């Protein structure tokens, strides 16, 4: 049973740095083909992919946010951490942690299949 | 970056009716890397369809996906009360990965 859970501050001030932690179970981030990503959703708006880290430490970032994002993993703790600098009220959103694996059990490319419940982060002074 | 445009923005239908949701990509997408999600208020998205037409685990067969190239479709053959929700299309080929803006299926 794969589960993921996001944790971090619910309120940050403009210009501050946000640090979110994803704690997962049911899989290992040292397994070949496995990745953990972050996706956000402003209130009433669409989903936006932010970043993803693979088992081999390969990292991918959204080009529009790349300069502000850092994603890291701690395989021993089954955690992935996302930091976002220079927070702005426009960054107010629910942030989701997600699991991805290159190929499903049938050998077919697989998308973000398991999601955490999300954590709402509000940016306000 | 591939832009995904969903239509219509809102679909007003009655239970038992057929729902057809569209998603158009700004450039050709491999159907192997195309998915649909369902999202209900206050919940995380749930994977419905991946590889354009493969149902995810536990998804009822009233949900089906089709399409290729730049045009993809999600069909719900007969709407059940629990199907009224938001639906997003998504491409997961080469990054950056993107989502459509969503189609809301509401009760008429």
The alpha carbons of chain B give a radius of gyration, in whole angstroms, of 13
Among A46, A112, A116, select the one facing B102 at the smallest CB separation: A46
Average pLDDT over residues B9-38: 97
Question: What pLDDT, on a 0 to 100 scale, did the predictor assign at position A31?
Answer: 86
Write the DSSP assignment of B53-70 as a string of letters. TEEPTT--TTEEEEEEEE
Cβ–Cβ contact B75 with A under 8 A: no
* pLDDT above 90 (res A106): no
Proportion of chain B above pLDDT 70, given as a percent: 100
Q: Pick the more confident residue, A107 or B87.
A: B87
Cβ–Cβ contact A5 with B under 8 A: no
Is residue A2 a contact partner of residue A26, using CB atoms and an 8 Å limit? yes
Question: What pLDDT, on a 0 to 100 scale, did the predictor assign at position A119?
Answer: 98
Supply angle C-alpha B43, B44, B49, rounded to 5: 120
For all residues of chain A together, what is the average pLDDT? 96
Half-sphere exposure of B91 (CA within 13 A, CB side): 28
Average pLDDT over residues A45-52: 98
* pLDDT above 90 (res B50): yes
- Asked whether the beta carbons of residue B32 and residue A108 sit closer than 8 angstroms, the reply is yes
Cα–Cα distance for residue pair A19/A48, rounded to 1 Å: 18
Write the DSSP assignment of B8-39 as a string of letters. -SEEEE-TTS-EEEEEEEEEEE-GGGEEEEEE
Cα–Cα distance for residue pair B50/A91, rounded to 1 Å: 29
């Amino acid at each position: 049973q794969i589960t993921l859970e996001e944790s971090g501050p619910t309120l940050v001030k403009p210009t501050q740095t946000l640090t979110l932690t994803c704690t997962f179970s049911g899989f290992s981030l040292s397994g070949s083909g496995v990745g953990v990503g972050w996706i956000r959703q402003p209130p009433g708006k669409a989903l936006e992919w932010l970043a993803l880290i693979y088992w081999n430490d390969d990292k991918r970032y959204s080009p529009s946010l790349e300069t502000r994002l850092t994603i890291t993993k701690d395989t021993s703790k089954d955690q992935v951490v996302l930091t976002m600098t220079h927070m702005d009220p426009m960054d107010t959103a629910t942030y989701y942690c997600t699991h991805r694996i290159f190929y499903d059990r049938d050998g077919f490319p697989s998308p973000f299949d398991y999601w955490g419940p999300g954590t709402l982060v509000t940016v306000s002074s | 970056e591939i832009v995904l445009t969903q239509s219509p923005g809102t679909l007003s239908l009655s239970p038992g009716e057929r729902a057809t949701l569209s998603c158009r990509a700004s450039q050709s997408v491999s159907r192997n890397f195309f998915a649909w999600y369902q999202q209900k208020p206050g919940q995380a998205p749930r994977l419905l369809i991946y590889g354009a037409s493969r149902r995810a685990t536990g998804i009822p067969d009233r949900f089906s996906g089709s399409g290729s190239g730049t045009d993809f479709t999600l069909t719900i053959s007969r709407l059940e009360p629990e199907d009224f929700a938001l639906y997003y299309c998504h491409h997961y080929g080469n990054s950056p990965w993107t989502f459509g803006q969503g189609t809301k299926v509401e009760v008429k």
